[in-house]
Amino acid sequence: MWPRAQTTYALLVTNRLAALLGDRPAILDGGYGWLLQERGLPPGEAAESWNLTAPDRVAAIHEEYAQAGASILTTNTFGATEPRLGPLGLSGQSYVVARAGATIAREVADRHGILVAGDVGPIGELLQPLGVLTAQEAVELFAEQIRGLTDGGVQLILIETMSDLAETRAAIDAARLVAPDLPIIATMSFDTHLRTMMGVTPTQAVEALAEAGVDAVGANCGRGPEEMRDIATALVSARRDGMLLVAQSNAGLPELSGDRFVYTVDPAGMAAHAQELRACGVDVIGACCGSSPEHIAAISEALR
C-alpha cells in the first residue's frame, strides 16, 4: 500500500494506474537527458540515439533507478518524434528509436517487478493557430512514437513537460488510438508565474485533462521544489474524483560551476520535498532535470 494513501487509494481503486501499481510504492524515476550528458552523451547528439548505439549505457541508468526504489521507469524517448529526431540525423526513425527504448527499459523493469512508462515529450513545433502543425498531424506524429513504445512493451503512457493543452490532447488521442487499454499520465510544466509557457494554470490543466479522461494529471520540470509546492497545492485543490496526481520537480535550477552546470537541490532536499508533496496529497512522486538515482533513493527512503 502507498505510504500515505490508504484513504486516497480506496477512492481510486477504479483508476487504471492505481490498479496497475497495486502494492508497489508510487515512485517515478528521475532525469535522463541531463544524466546521459553527465555519462558522456556528446553535445548536440540526441539522447534517444543511445537506444540504438549504446543500449547498455541506457540500461545501466534504468538499473540504477530500479535499485534506488523507483516503481516506474520512464523510457529514454522524450524526443522520439520526427520533428525532433530528423534534424539530429535520425529522420524516419521514430518508431525504431521508441521501440528500442521501451525494450531496454522493460528488460530492466522485469528483473525488478516494476513498471515501464512510455515517455512522450512535446513535438517541438507549435500547433495551429500559433504554428503550422495541425492537430491531426500532431496525432499522427505521436502515434508513430507510441506504436514503437507499445511494441516494445510499455505498460503505461507518460505524456510530459507539455505547455499547450491542444498538443497534450493530441498526444492523448494518439495514445487512445494506438493503445486504448493503457493508463495515461499527463503532466505539464508550469514554469512562468505558475503557468505553462502557453498560459495554462494547474487548475485549468486538471479540468481539461480530467475531461480528456486521463488516469493521472500533474506537473514536472519547472524551477524547483519551492514552486512545485505551490503548483501541487493548486493541483490538489482542483482534483477530480478518481484521479491521481503526479509531481516531478527539477532538482532546483542549474548553476555554472567551472565548465559544467550543477543543480542546486541535493538528495536530502528532494527527499524533504517529496514528504511535503505526499502530505499535500500528491499520489505519484518522482524527480526531473538535475536529478539522479541518488535523489530517487533518498525520495524512496523518505516515502517508505
Task: Kindly list the domain boundaries of the chain, sorted by start residue.
Answer: 6-303
Residue 86 grid coordinates: 530528423
CB-hemisphere CA count at 13 Å for 86? 8
Q: Is the dihedral of CA 105, 262, 285, 160 positive or negative?
A: negative
- The C-alpha R_g of the chain, in whole angstroms, comes to 17
**CA neighbor of 225 nearest in space, from 247, 199, 203:** 247
Q: How far apart are CA 135 and CA 186, in angstroms?
A: 17
Encode pLDDT of 90-124 as tens digits. Answer: 999 999 999 999 999 999 999 999 999 999 999 99
Cβ–Cβ contacts within 10 Å for residue 203, how many? Answer: 13
How many whole angstroms separate alpha carbon 157 and alpha carbon 261? 30
pLDDT of residue 1: 28
- Residue 175 and residue 146 in contact, taking contact as beta carbons nearer than 8 Å: yes
Provide the 10 A C-beta neighbour count for residue 253: 14
The confidence score (pLDDT) of residue 257 equals 74
The pLDDT of residue 261: 76
How many CA atoms lie less than 13 Å away from 9 in the CB half-sphere? Answer: 16
Q: What is the pLDDT of residue 14?
A: 56
Instruction: Tell me the three state secondary structure of residue 193.
Output: coil
Q: In sequence order, what are the beta bridge partners of 27?
A: 285
Q: What pLDDT score does 2 carry?
A: 32
How much of the chain, in percent, has pLDDT values that exceed 70? Answer: 95
Can you name the residues that pair with 219 across neighbouring β-strands? 188, 247
pLDDT per residue of the chain (304 residues) written in tens, 0 to 9: 233 333 333 333 358 999 999 999 999 999 999 899 989 999 889 999 999 999 999 999 999 999 999 999 999 999 999 999 999 999 999 999 999 999 999 999 999 999 999 999 999 999 999 999 999 999 999 999 999 999 999 999 999 999 999 999 999 999 999 999 999 999 999 987 899 999 999 999 999 999 999 999 999 999 899 999 999 999 999 999 999 999 999 998 878 777 777 889 999 999 999 999 999 999 999 999 999 999 999 999 999 8
Selected from 3.20.20.330, 3.40.50.300, 3.40.1000.10, 3.20.20.60, the CATH number assigned to the domain covering 6-303 reads: 3.20.20.330
Contact 181, 149 (CB under 8 A): no
Cα(29)–Cα(17) distance, integer angstroms: 16
